Amino acid sequence: MTRRPMVGGNWKMHLDAAAATALATDVAGGIGADSLVDVAVFPPTPYLHLVAEIARGAALQVGGQDASGETQGAYTGQTAASMLFDVGCSWALVGHSERRHGLGEDDALASRKVRAALDAGLRVLLCVGETLEEREAGRTFPTVCGQFEHSLHGIQTADLERIDIAYEPVWAIGTGRTAGPSEAQEVHAALRETVALLYDARSAERIRILYGGSVKPANAQALMACEDVDGALVGGASLESEPFLDIVRAAFPPEHS
């Protein structure tokens, strides 16, 4: 089975309405109506609707950077997955390290968010990754595979069809430090093995595992050439269209690059 590559752009809490409009317009124009790669952007919540309108007609997908684990009610400041769907999103990021480590969100909360997002009709990009301390203590594999397992608590094999993973070492996010291709590959392979153990071989073969952490045009191709690296989740380099589109092109299957 060949997995279709995916590149995501996480805009975090950057840009304003005018800049988001310009960036989305340039990215949508650069991709066109048909792409060899799945491309999604994750704009700040207030700009989701306008970016989704621009993305319509292009092969550009839009997602929320987070989704509530609750469906509706008195949850000030949260955004229900159904609201993301309603404004044109097809994705939710869940478990980004800036929520796990910045806001203290745990695997139990991530699993409720995954469930809510799937129930609302969204696809999920589940982020996992170890801190530098965990890596140096030799705990990379148990940390990321444990995050995967516990963040998907209660998720059945059929649900897995709408889930992909982003391996994002915390020490590489926004730092300019990146995992080398072989460091990334070994964690991706361990994650795929975990999917096979917890689910089945077919799901392990199908699931996409993106790498994230200071991906730039200069390192994207080497990372995405690894057997188990199926694309990239990009933060800083997704805030301008040219570097982001260069990374999208780096994900093209070899015969097209």
150 is catalytic: no
Q: Nearest approach, Cβ of 110 to ligand PEP (angstroms)? A: 15
Nearest CA-CA partner of 6 in 242, 243, 209, 167: 209
Distance CA 196, CA 6 (A): 21
Active-site hit among 105, 134, 149, 168: 168
Query: What is the binding site for ligand PEP (CB under 6 A)?
Result: 10, 168, 173-174, 212-215, 233-237
DSSP secondary structure, 131-166, as one string: -HHHHHTT-HHHHHHHHHHHHTTT--TTGGGGEEEE
Distance, C-alpha 139 to centroid of its chain: 22
Minimum CB–partner distance for residue 33 and ligand PEP (Å): 27
H-type alpha helices, 32-174:
48-55, 81-86, 97-100, 107-119, 132-136, 140-151
The SS3 call for residue 210 is: strand
Given the complex with ligand PEP, which of 204 and 224 has the nearer CB atom? 224
For ligand PEP, give the closer residue by CB, 109 or 172: 172
The distance of closest approach from Cβ of residue 10 to ligand PEP in the complex, given in angstroms and rounded to an integer, is: 4
Among candidate residues 96, 98, 105, 134, the one labeled active-site is 96
H helix count then E strand count, the chain:
11, 8
Measured N-to-C along each axis, helices 17-31 and 241-250 cross at an angle, to the nearest 10 degrees, of 30
CB of 106 to ligand PEP, least distance (A): 19
- Per-position b or e across 112-144, b if 16+ CB within 10 A of its CB: bbbbbbbebebbbbbbbbbbeebbeeeebbebb
Nearest distance in Å: CB 214, ligand PEP: 4
- Residue number with CB closer to ligand PEP (152 or 234): 234
Beta carbon nearer to ligand PEP, 143 or 214: 214
* Sequence letter at residue 163: I
CA gyration radius for the chain? Answer: 17
CB nearer to ligand PEP: give 85 or 167. 167
Supply the residues annotated as catalytic: 96, 168
